Structure 1
Amino acid sequence: MMRRSLTGNKTRLSVYCYLCIKRNRMNADKKYFPRLEDITQAKITLNKIASHTPLEKNRNLSEEFNSNIFLKREDLQTVRSYKIRGAYNKIAQLPKSSLQKGVVCASAGNHAQGVAFSCSRLNIKGKIYMPATTPKQKIRQVEMFGKKNVEIILTGDTYDTAENEAKADCKKTGMAFIHPFDDEQIIEGQATVGLEILQDTKDPIDYLFIPVGGGGLAAGVGAYFKQVSPKTKIIGVEPEGAPSMKKSLEAGKNIELSTIDKFVDGASVQKVGALTFDVCREVIDEMVTVPEGRICTKILELYNHDALVIEPAGALSITALEQFQNEVKGKNVVCIVSGSNNDITRMEEIKERSLLFEGLKHYFIVRFPQRAGALRTFVDVVLGPNDDVTHFEYSKKTNREKGPAVIGIEVQQKEDYYGLVKRMEENGFIYEYLNEKPDLFQFLV
């Protein structure tokens, strides 16, 4: 009897062990997907650290698109962006041994500020590697949030250089590297944005527009919505000059772009995260891009109409509404405003990009005819009554009216351009249009 019982126990034990091994293998093979309980735990971790930001109905946008447009105001977050959520959630869960050694990150913007704030709050040491080209305003912000707990190291001209040196530092010192987006706890921290949105809404949300950079926010919020509000259509939005997620989803694999436009610095990456790509391919219903010039126009509109100061990445989701104006009519729509860390010195560039995109500003190389009074003719006859010369450089030879000039002209209506060039041709002015020659345009302007 004993032998049979023992054999039976062994058999049951063997079956149990087999099932455990099988389950572990299945878990090992299963790709990561944020769980509701982990997102809920992240929300608890972030209590008293990250603000529960408001979800506000925007009257102007709602009237423009004949729908209910709500803005999730992460621009009002503790460090003026959602990045504090992921950074603190990750760092707070590190083992004590890691916290004693400190943490390292590479960032030129919002992630650096989130890490700096977390280091100060947890009273741990932090090293933040930033490109030497980082604007002073952002460096001061990191210093302010990190105080005596953070050391800022400026190195190289690009984020990639800063990241490589940060990781090399981690290998040497044993400090923990805090990735800006490709990390489970980072993703789960960002997912709390979605948790708050659904807590604050009474009616079902039909559309959710999410800005996409490395994919941490989209992966986290998207995963939460797919489990709690699966009928919501999730739209990911990238800048046209850095469509790394869109290209990867189209290719069916995570690809790296050779070059990107870094103007939308909070959402311009050459390659999205491995974890974030796998999650986003399951949760994003449609991926779109918006031109950088249109983003600039939207930033100015939001400032002038709603007194909202938003960084380029923060305006991505709102800018994409125009592409869905027919679909969203009569619907409940949420746009995540991801941040407001916009350096005031960039406003002139933002205005310039907006005018160029809207067809209201034009640059020419003008070769004046070899006759006296040609410059006066240009001003009196060629320029329209509402045209404004905003840029003028000339190369003097024998006199100013015989040399070529670089001229920037701002018009009131897009159609005014055609009358302007027609009058130049009718009065014998030879010109070269620079807006369509980006290499020459960037060099001269």
Structure 2
Amino acid sequence: MQISKKAHSSLNLANNDLLETPDKKPTNHHVIRSNKQEESAIKEPMVVDVSTYNHPPNLQKLIPVSHIFGAYKRVKNVITRTPTQKSMKLSEQFGANVYIKREDLQIVRSYKLRGAYNKIISIPESERHRTVFCSSAGNHAQGVAYVCNLLKINCVIYMPTNTPNIKFNAVKSWGKQFVQIELVGDTFDESFRASKERCNNENGIYVHAFDDEKIIEGQGTIAVEILEDIPEDQIDFVFFPVGGGGCGAGISSYFKQVHPETILIGVEPEGSPSMYEAIKQQKVVELDTINTFVDGAAIKKSGAIPFEILNSVLKDIFLIPEGHVCTTMMKLFNEEGILVEPAGALAIAALDRFKDEIRGKTVVCLISGSNNDLGRMTDIRMLSEIHQGLQYYMFVNFFQKPGALKQFIIKCLGPTDEITNLEYTRKNNREKGPALVGVKVKKPQDFEAIKSKMEELKITLRILQPNQEIFKMLL
């Protein structure tokens, strides 16, 4: 048996048969190349204190390494061993060695298959006549459907009514005759409550999306592959997305026991900060409302088990605005040719926030999935441009007189400015009337010029923000 010295330098694992590691994979084909000559970022003598971001490892809170290796032995012949690729574009941009773990290339196009298989294969043969139940925003559902079809187990999967079509259709495809889908509620949490109640009533077996040790063990196998595939002796940072917390809990458990000097960064969408609030308040909390745009990480209430693990490791969760997530998605597609779902872009989106800390370091970002409906790309592009200050939607109060709109276009808009949306109804019994106007500019300061000219003409406006309820009319 061969044990990688790099991956297990801090543990004495040589005599434990459960801890047999997968063979080291060659890394020369795991590189995303740019047109420029390939370069490796040179390590600089810069120290980043792990204690700034992470607590000292509390081994009692973590999933044991032996459990994660046991999970890897179970799942390795079912899953795809996804590549950990060096991104030359991101490495050049940040002056670092930036690797991306490509779980978007997993069989069901997300890492969720790992946990689903590890959980369901653990069900005793004598119990497999019972129906499996789960709730999911889409990716966990695909993993469960795939495994239930593979093992010939019936399953009932609850999904929110706003689940993207690509995920709904994929669940039907993977599960075939063994899956029944129920669309209930607007969020994962509403769907979860309905599925759990039915599971209890029908004596089913529940496969939770993240709040289950077997699920967490399965997701932790991602860390096994990362440490085997990275050629550098030291991994300085690992960035991962956080929704319910199962994936982050698995990765954190493994790294903090095997490679404790690595700084772990959990990233959550700004509109659904359930784990952020849990760590801040030191208890699991349920949010009143969430933004479901980053559907793969839009959770009102994080898992109790993942919270205990992540709270023992992470001092904070870093929040990323949905617009910045969209900008990262567009950039990944345009520059790397990688199409990801919103949650899949969270980890890479956080690099801008840590650009000083990661300079000269070795960094790994998890791309968690690619189940993105192409029909959403128009909205994604719009939210990205709003975040960058290149597109604005506003209510404008025009004077109710002939030529008011013409005056606005001629006197307020510059030669490169563009009207993208206009909804206006003239009402003769009012001095002024509101219009919904969308404007796209070449650079943010161009919009400041538009506002100045509108002020001179005494035209008032109110800018709409993506987090406002009325903004949903535009999506």
TM-score (norm 1): 0.89
Highest Rg: 1 or 2?
A: 1
Deviation at 1:286, TM superposition (A): 4.4
- 1:168/1:429 CA distance change after superposition, 3 Å: closer
SS in 2 for 1:368: strand
1:355 alignment partner, one of 376, 385, 390? 385
Deviation at 1:119, TM superposition (A): 0.4
Q: CA RMSD in A?
A: 2.1
SS in 2 for 1:365: strand
- Structure 2 CA distance for aligned equivalents of residues 329 and 216 of structure 1: 29
- 1:424/1:118 CA distance change after superposition, 3 Å: same
Could you tell me which residue of structure 2 aligns to residue 223 of structure 1? 253
Bigger drift between 243-252 and 312-321 goes to 243-252
- Structure 2 CA distance for aligned equivalents of residues 437 and 428 of structure 1: 28
Could you tell me which residue of structure 1 aligns to residue 361 of structure 2? 331
Structure 1 residue runs without a partner (length 5+): 1-29
- 1:402/1:338 CA distance change after superposition, 3 Å: same
> Which letter maps to 1:179?
H
Bigger drift between 191-200 and 256-265 goes to 256-265
8 Å CA contact 2:398–2:404 kept in 1: the answer is yes
1:103 alignment partner, one of 128, 132, 148? 132
> Which letter maps to 2:287?
L
Deviation at 1:243, TM superposition (A): 1.6
Could you tell me which residue of structure 2 aligns to residue 244 of structure 1? 274
Structure 2 residue 191 is the aligned partner of structure 1 residue 170: no
Deviation at 1:246, TM superposition (A): 1.9
Could you tell me which residue of structure 1 aligns to residue 146 of structure 2? 117
Could you tell me which residue of structure 1 aligns to residue 190 of structure 2? 161
2:99 alignment partner, one of 65, 70, 74? 70
8 Å CA contact 1:233–1:285 kept in 2: the answer is no
8 Å CA contact 1:234–1:285 kept in 2: the answer is no
Structure 2 residue 209 is the aligned partner of structure 1 residue 187: no
1:231-270 to 2 correspondences below 5 Å: 231-270=261-300
Could you tell me which residue of structure 2 aligns to residue 25 of structure 1? none
Q: For residues 415-444 of structure 1, what are the alpha-carbon distances to aligned partners after superposition, in whole Å with 9 as ceiling and x for unaligned?
A: 111110111222343433334993454457
8 Å CA contact 2:187–2:299 kept in 1: the answer is no
Could you tell me which residue of structure 2 aligns to residue 342 of structure 1? 372
> Which letter maps to 1:365?
F
Deviation at 1:226, TM superposition (A): 0.8
- Structure 1 CA distance for aligned equivalents of residues 344 and 400 of structure 2: 51
SS in 1 for 2:287: coil
2:420 alignment partner, one of 390, 396, 416? 390
8 Å CA contact 1:374–1:401 kept in 2: the answer is no
- Structure 2 CA distance for aligned equivalents of residues 437 and 273 of structure 1: 25
- Structure 2 CA distance for aligned equivalents of residues 412 and 399 of structure 1: 37
Could you tell me which residue of structure 2 aligns to residue 299 of structure 1? 329
SS in 2 for 1:364: strand
8 Å CA contact 2:159–2:188 kept in 1: the answer is yes
8 Å CA contact 1:210–1:336 kept in 2: the answer is yes
Deviation at 1:232, TM superposition (A): 0.4
- 1:379/1:143 CA distance change after superposition, 3 Å: same
- Structure 2 CA distance for aligned equivalents of residues 428 and 287 of structure 1: 44
> Which letter maps to 2:404?
A
Q: For residues 206-251 of structure 1, what are the alpha-carbon distances to aligned partners after superposition, in whole Å with 9 as ceiling and x for unaligned?
A: 0010111111111111110111111101111111112221222222
> Which letter maps to 2:109?
R
- Structure 2 CA distance for aligned equivalents of residues 279 and 404 of structure 1: 52
Bigger drift between 282-291 and 111-120 goes to 282-291
- Structure 2 CA distance for aligned equivalents of residues 168 and 439 of structure 1: 31
Q: For residues 269-303 of structure 1, what are the alpha-carbon distances to aligned partners after superposition, in whole Å with 9 as ceiling and x for unaligned?
A: 12211111111122335421111111111111111
Deviation at 1:371, TM superposition (A): 4.3
2:163 alignment partner, one of 134, 140, 146? 134
8 Å CA contact 1:131–1:158 kept in 2: the answer is yes
Could you tell me which residue of structure 2 aligns to residue 433 of structure 1? 463
Could you tell me which residue of structure 2 aligns to residue 8 of structure 1? none
Could you tell me which residue of structure 2 aligns to residue 213 of structure 1? 243
Q: More helix per residue: 1 or 2?
A: 1
> Which letter maps to 2:378?
E
Could you tell me which residue of structure 1 aligns to residue 303 of structure 2? 273
Structure 2 residue 68 is the aligned partner of structure 1 residue 39: yes
Deviation at 1:196, TM superposition (A): 0.4
Q: For residues 372-416 of structure 1, what are the alpha-carbon distances to aligned partners after superposition, in whole Å with 9 as ceiling and x for unaligned?
A: 333222222211111000000111335999743211111111111
Q: For residues 69-110 of structure 1, what are the alpha-carbon distances to aligned partners after superposition, in whole Å with 9 as ceiling and x for unaligned?
A: 000000000100000000010000011132121311111210
Could you tell me which residue of structure 2 aligns to residue 283 of structure 1? 313
Bigger drift between 100-109 and 164-173 goes to 164-173
Deviation at 1:151, TM superposition (A): 1.1
8 Å CA contact 2:188–2:299 kept in 1: the answer is no
Deviation at 1:261, TM superposition (A): 1.6
- Structure 1 CA distance for aligned equivalents of residues 169 and 309 of structure 2: 35
- Structure 2 CA distance for aligned equivalents of residues 163 and 227 of structure 1: 32
Q: For residues 13-37 of structure 1, what are the alpha-carbon distances to aligned partners after superposition, in whole Å with 9 as ceiling and x for unaligned?
A: xxxxxxxxxxxxxxxxx96531111
- Structure 1 CA distance for aligned equivalents of residues 460 and 343 of structure 2: 40
TM-score (norm 2): 0.83
- 1:33/1:365 CA distance change after superposition, 3 Å: closer
SS in 1 for 2:114: helix
Deviation at 1:355, TM superposition (A): 1.5
Number of residue-to-residue matches in the alignment: 416
1:383-422 to 2 correspondences below 5 Å: 383-398=413-428, 403-422=433-452
Deviation at 1:44, TM superposition (A): 1.1
8 Å CA contact 1:242–1:270 kept in 2: the answer is yes
Q: For residues 151-201 of structure 1, what are the alpha-carbon distances to aligned partners after superposition, in whole Å with 9 as ceiling and x for unaligned?
A: 112233333332222122222222100000011110000000000000112
Bigger drift between 293-302 and 146-155 goes to 146-155
